[in-house]
Amino acid sequence: MKSASSANRTSRAAAKKAARREDRQRLENGESPAALQRENSIFPAGFFKDAKISNLSQVVGR
């Protein structure tokens, strides 16, 4: 019998494989790669646009 972590890895691998297959099909059907990237990204569109990096001035000033 498989351990729980082994079963989880197998399940996760199958889900990732199915998602890649679906993305490939969507690209073949003419969907925009940029649209797929935005959809698959963990960050929403524009997330970094107005980001403030608090310690950037310390690094640049050296």
Position 58 scores a pLDDT of: 62
Q: Give mean pLDDT, residues 42-50.
A: 82
Most distant CA pair in the chain: distance in Å?
59
CA dihedral over 47, 30, 13, 8, signed as positive or negative? positive
**pLDDT tens string 7-41:** 888 999 999 999 999 999 999 999 999 999 989 89
Position 59 scores a pLDDT of: 55
Could you tell me where the DSSP H helices lie in 1-62?
4-28, 33-40, 56-60
36 burial class (0-12, 13-18, 19+ CB within 10 angstroms)? Answer: middle
